[in-house]
Structure 1
Amino acid sequence: MTITANERSLQKETIATHLGRPDASVGLVNWPVHRGSTVVFDKVGDLENSGERKFEKGTLHYGRFGTPDVFAFEEVISALEGAYGTLCVPSGLAACVLPLVAFLKPGDHILVTDAIYGPTRTSLKQFIARQDVELEFYDPCIGDGIAELIKHNTKVIYLESPGSYTFEVQDVPAIVGCARSRGVITVCDNTWATPMFFRPLEVGVDVVVQAATKYISGHSDVMLGLVSCQEPYYRMVREAANWLGYHAAPDSVFLATRGIRTLAARMERHYKTGLALATWLEQQPQVRRVIYPALPSHPNHTIWKRDFEGASGLFSFVLDASRERAIKFVESLSLFGIGLSWGGYESLAIVSDPSKARTVTRWEEDGVLIRMHAGLENERDLIADLTKALALI
């Protein structure tokens, strides 16, 4: 069976399974890896014609602009996100920065959620702001109050929902409404939910970015980013990628394509296990607070329930302990690795301090924040491991 992106009546699980596969005449269910730089044409005019169309979707011109396997993967992501087009880039951070390079110029003003992914914050402060762009952070829970921060030169509003480490769920429709009324472009990081659980473009966001490094690839062995755009912004993003020399490695795209086929099943498992762990932790005396949007106790649970179809396995909790005791807790875990990133099959836990990465909001919780990723292990085994480690603090 071969389907096209126009078959929108299909559910997202079916789209992720079937869209972007080779033509039936090939006889394979997966695209082979296309490793190549030079594309050879029969005629000079053919090469020149491809050069004129190199920023259009699916144009084979030179390896850096994409190959058939890359185009097929981008088509799957576009269908899942509801985008006009998607662009693969070398990493999640590259995806976050690319629209900013595409849209911002000296003298522009950008509003950025204060709960943004740390490396994106660094890129904004150390790279974008140096281009004479005015950078302003806002409270992620601001909602339609963001209208008061929009200036005559505001070009972009950057969202990330839920927020990094502290998981504030933004009122994306309210912010988008304010932005659209003032002609401001919106960019939203959708890595946490993936298009399986949230589709920002459907509520009016202009550009969605995400790290395919995480859930889409799903096995902690890929670096890849995705930028999905509404039609007016697609060419601008493609051109900016050319300025920066961005190109996604063919093997990374192959692995991410393989990962997308099982994304729906994996996300449901991450959700189930994450909710089980969060619910259990909320009942433990050593835990002051669990920060997980799917819990009724989360301050933005109502917004999450309205806008999202599920939750990933990533959340945080505040341990009622000193930093030394918190480190002992994490290091005592057997089934939770200590490491950066998340979204793979394995569970992870790290000690964090959000106060080091905030500008307009303050983190003043007593205790120590632990960020946890619920992997694909059996939840009973994970709870037993947590029980053992909590008993030591």
Structure 2
Amino acid sequence: MELQTETGCATSLEIRGPSTRAVHGGAERHNPYHAVVPPIVQTATYAFRDTADLIAFQEARQWGAAGGRVDYGRYGNPTVAALEARVAALEGAEAAAAFSSGMAAVTAILFASLRSGAHLIVTEDAYRRTRQFVLQFLRRFGVEATVVPIGDFEALEAAIRPNTRLIFTETPTNPYLRVMDLERLAEIARRRRIRTVVDATFATPINLRPLDYGIDLVIHSATKYLSGHNDVMAGVVAGSADLIAGLREMQAMIGGILDPHAAYLVLRGLKTLALRVHRQNENGMRVAEFLSAHPRIRRVWYPGLPSHPDHAVARRLMRGFGGVVTFEVAADREGTSRFIDALHIPYIAPSLGGVESLIEQPALMSYYEMDPEERSAIGITDNLVRLSLGIEDPDDLLADLEQALARLP
């Protein structure tokens, strides 16, 4: 990164701190109109000065040297490019590509990486829509999938076939916050020449950078922590320049592009990412410790607690344990709902990662269409609660939880 001295000369400075990267990483020092903030370039098409300018552009693109210039909005946008550069800097990646949602990013990777006759492996605690796409939709195209328990590397290696092309996992997972040993996963994949993809939405680049451990591609639903304000939908993928270039080709065909105003909102959110995540890490740890000691709570899942099955892995790989706490209330479904309704601070809502705390009862939110037996088979109990902590003061959050739990019999 280059910074300007008082004399106007450029000087090279290595940016190491996550908050500095979140504000300045990948940024152009001089923006149009002398703006400090990259402007929103709200255009669907791009003009040429004359025919000679057009021909020069076409010749450069033919040889892969168009200098980032595009002719149509589906192929790129300066505001979106600024976001992609910032995320690449945060992840320590060569490049990144932004999409209209996290699922658009997931499906683009799968479409770009797999063809009929291919096989992939996905871990069982992956996001339910990802599992549905892998197990139901891709099957229509002749792609087979095997689901393995996260952390069971014997099952993972046993599932690998000659036609296995991809291993897809999340870390931490939803809702039980399982943490994959990325070093071990990357070693197996390299040895078997299989591509690895990690959805690290819950971790953020502040708490974990999967590429540092040998993972090929990392995904974020930027709707969550990266934007941080529950007001925009976006997704982003980071990795090597070659892999991201292939994703851009797929994106140009399927059209899951991010609009420039949404990119601007995510860029604005990224500037406070490290500050927000540090507070959410603090809130997560405080709440997890409080709940684990409370007599009206049966069990707590949080990677920062020694009781979590992946605590040792989380301590080794992660710089913080995140702002999501999952727990079981000592009550039935109706009692758990009464506890949630008695809370004053969290909103009852899906999603996570924003400045506002959000709470949900998965049996009634994400898995309502399943009957109790189906939910139980995948580990979703009626008294399960997922609490995504915002940046509120921790003492206020604890007091709110205490008064709501005190109402239980």
TM (norm. structure 2) is 0.89
1:247 to partner: Cα distance: 1.1
Aligned position for 1:29:
36
Measured in 1, the distance between the counterparts of 2:66 and 2:345 equals 46
CA RMSD of aligned residues (A): 2.5
Equivalent position of 2:131 in the other structure: 121
CA separation in 2, counterparts of 1:88 and 1:8?
Answer: 25
Corresponding residue number in structure 2 for 1:378: 393
Query: 1:24 offset after TM fit, Å?
Result: 3.4
Deviations 1:225-284 (A, max 9, x none): 001122331221111111211210111100100111110000000000111111101111
Contact 1:92 1:226 in 2 (8 A): yes
Q: Structure 2: which 5+ runs fail to align?
A: 4-9
Greater mean alpha carbon deviation, residues 259-268 or residues 169-178: 169-178
Q: Does the alignment pair 1:104 with 2:110?
A: no
Q: What is the aligned counterpart of 1:12 among 18, 23, 30?
A: 18
Per the alignment, in what secondary structure is the counterpart of residue 102 of structure 1? helix
> Computing the radius of gyration over CA atoms, which structure comes out larger, 1 or 2?
2
SS at match of 1:135: strand
Q: Report deviation, 1:311.
A: 1.8
User: What is the count of residue pairs matched by the alignment?
Assistant: 391
2:276 partner amino acid: R
How far does residue 27 in structure 1 lie from its aligned partner after superposition?
2.8
Give the structure 2 partner of residue 337 of structure 1. Answer: 347
Deviation at 1:67, TM superposition (A): 1.8
Counterpart code for 1:37: A
* 285 and 244 in structure 1: CA distance in 2 versus 1, 3 angstrom threshold: same
Q: What does the per-residue CA deviation read over 1:18-58, in whole Å, with 9 as the maximum and x for residues that have no partner?
A: 23444337432201101111111232313413643779883
Q: CA deviation at 1:193?
A: 0.8
Aligned to 2:95: 85
Task: Confirm or deny: 8 A CA contact 2:118 2:144 kept in the other structure.
Answer: yes
Is 1:197–1:308's contact at 8 Å kept on the other side of the alignment?
yes
Question: Aligned residue for 1:387?
Answer: 402
1:249 alignment partner in structure 2: 259
- Equivalent runs, 1:304-383 vs 2, <5 Å: 304-353=314-363, 363=378, 368-383=383-398
**Residues 366, 211 of structure 1: alpha-carbon distance in 2 compared, 3 angstrom cutoff:** closer
Measure, in 1, the Cα distance between the counterparts of 2:23 and 2:61: 33
Go from structure 1 to structure 2 and tell me whether the alpha carbon gap of 1:362 and 1:179 turns closer, same or farther (over 3 Å shift): farther
Partner residue of 1:38? 45
1:17 partner amino acid = V
Unaligned segments of structure 1, at least 5 residues: none
Q: What corresponds to 2:185 in structure 1?
A: 175
Distance 1:275 1:10 in 2: 25
Q: Which moved more, 1:255-264 or 1:120-129?
A: 120-129
The one-letter amino acid of 1:16's match is A
Q: 1:69-120 CA deviation, whole Å, 9 max, x = no partner?
A: 2212111111111112100100011112111010000000010010001111
Percent identity (aligned): 34
TM-score, with structure 1 as normaliser: 0.93
